[in-house]
Every structure is written in C-alpha cells, then in structure tokens.
Amino acid sequence: MPPYDPRAFIKLMFWSISFLLICTYLFGNENGDLSGETYKVQSVEPTENFKVVEILEKIEQVEKDGDKVYWNKITEVKPKDAADQYCYVKVIIKESDNQIIKEEILECADGRSRVDTPTYWQLFAEFYYTDNLQPEYCRKYDRKGHAFKTPGQVCLTKNGEWEVK
C-alpha cells in the first residue's frame, strides 16, 4: 500500500474554490445573488408622515413658549368651567426663633411649576438607606447596541437619583 499523499486533496480543494470564484464572477449581479436578474429601484413619491409632522409642531410650540412646560398634557381650564377652583393653596409651616409660622401661597395648575414634594425614589432612598451598613440598591438594565450584549447596572444614590455603574 502506498503512503498517504495529501496533494491530491489539496489540488481538488484548489480547483473547487477556483470554480466557485469564476462562477460567482460570471453569473453574479449587483444584488449579491446568482439569479442573474437585476432588480430596478422604483421611485417612490414621498408621503407625509402625519405623526412626524405632529411631533415637529409640538416641538416648535414648546420652543416658542419660552418657559419650560413640565406637563404638556395639562389643558387650560377656564375659571367659569371649574367654579374658580383650578388654583390651590399651598401651606408651608416654618419654625424660626421659637415661633411657628404658617404661610399660605396660592398656586395655579398651569403646568409650568413643579411639585415641591419628594418623588417616590427620593422617599424610597430615604427609607432604604437609614443604616450605613445597607448595601447599594441596584438594578440591571438592557443595553441595546452594546458590543458584548451585557446588561448594565444602575444604582440608587442616597438622594434618590439613579446612577449608572
């Protein structure tokens, strides 16, 4: 029996690859397939996307307003429709010089002032971080488009804000 000679298999592999490359060059087209058909691009007239136009109009309106609108879903309520009660009284109690002072401030709900009360996460952080030995409160989140598809992590700070770790 003659010894094993790999040159025959190497020649076969070389000729097979050459044949495939030549066929791809001869019969391929710009579509990247071997069908031989050329697909024509049809011209499509641009149609207006009404949602995009609506969003652009809202952005222009916010830029024109000047003041920052925090809640844009608040609709204007006429006083006669709400029995003159679309404003509220905010009560502030302070202590100074051993005296308790009560202030009443009239504020109206027009969407341009924020609420002075703490948020849910500020209250949660105050409750959770009562002890210095408490571990950080962290959550994992999905990072779309990350090279390794690994999740990210955000942790709640002591003042109630989320920080990326």
What are the tens digits of pLDDT across the range 116-149? 677 788 888 888 888 888 889 999 988 888 888 8
The CA distance from 69 to 63, in Å, is 10
**Three-class SS of residue 76?**
coil
In the prediction, which pLDDT does 105 show?
78
What are the tens digits of pLDDT across the range 93-103? 888 888 888 88
| Alpha-carbon 22 to chain mean position | 48
- Tell me the pLDDT band of 19, cut-offs 50, 70 and 90: very high
- Among 27, 32, 26, 31, CA closest to 41: 31
